Amino acid sequence: MSFVIGIDGGGTSCRAALATSDGRILARAKSGSANIHSDWTGARANIVAAARKAFVEAGEDPGLIPRTPAVLGLAGANVGTYQQQLEAILPFSTSVVETDALIALEGAVGAGDGAIAILGTGTAYLARMGGEQKPIGGWGFLIGDQASGARIGRDLLEETLLAHDGIREASPMTEAVMAIYRDDPRDMVEFTLGAKPGDFGGYAPMVFDYAAKGDAVANAIVDRATAAIEASLRALNLHADHPLCLLGGLAPLYAPRLSADFQPLLREPLQDALGGAVAMAARLFGAANDADASHSQGGAGNRRS
């Protein structure tokens, strides 16, 4: 039996799925973050770890990894030369590295027209219309990823320090954050020095929780983030008949906050991004794998005769 592997790697975790050559998923597994822009070395290690775990979970030999092709949708694949560098050193028989947005679009809407907004530790948008793709965002925590969990967490800490200094009004949320750091802003600054996007993103649920309770600072942060999402969606120039799927851990929190302009477009995704990576791998490699396997078996039979 021949296999394909799908990988979905982001700022929080890396997920792998082992599937048959026709795309039937046998097992899924998970490891640490795989953002090749923010942590290239760690991403490679976690990709391999997730793939090995998927083989083990399926009861198959991880030693088959070098004979198995893979499609990888990875955060950070849209910047620099990280994509090409990673493809050259991954252990799979063939590695196709795409953006996490592309595999998410494939999973959400299939091969047709539509759009996605990835709203998680980072943010990115991708639309496909008439076969043409239009990406927006995905530029990373430092200069992009507006409305992401990482940016929301960073904004929370900033607003907390502004309140501590008496520049802005404090709120129950900012007081709760100061308590986490023992009311010492130096401890908060120390946290930020080594924090990665996922560390900041860990504060995002807290902001939404306090927003639901009516906290003024929390609602200001979430309102700014929602406005940023809508600005990006407008730039996609979606048509009324194009499905829009919100993906990522923050999607259920943002969905009810979107304006009436976008509510009619919202659809549930057909499958997740990992399923999209597997579907792409099966489409790219499935038939070739089966042909190679048949050829190999036939050759072996001839040698035995």
- pTM to 2 decimal places: 0.77
Whether the per-residue pLDDT at 294 is higher than 50: the answer is: no
293 pLDDT tier (thresholds 50, 70, 90): very low
Q: Is the dihedral of CA 105, 110, 115, 121 positive or negative?
A: negative
Q: Report the SS3 class of residue 264.
A: helix
For 5, 161, 174, 208, the CA distances from 168, given in Å and listed in that order, are: 50, 9, 10, 20
Quote the pLDDT of residue 38: 73
The residue ranking higher by pLDDT, 273 or 12, is 273
Quote the pLDDT of residue 262: 95
User: What is the set of domains in the chain, with CATH numbers?
Assistant: 3-110+271-304 (3.30.420.40), 123-265 (3.30.420.40)
Closest by CA to 118, choosing from 17, 15, 10, is 10
The residue ranking higher by pLDDT, 299 or 283, is 283
> Could you tell me if 207 and 156 are in contact, meaning their C-beta atoms sit under 8 angstroms apart?
yes
> Could you tell me if 143 and 152 are in contact, meaning their C-beta atoms sit under 8 angstroms apart?
no
| pLDDT one-digit tens code per residue, 57-104 | 999 999 999 999 999 998 777 766 767 778 888 999 999 999 888 998
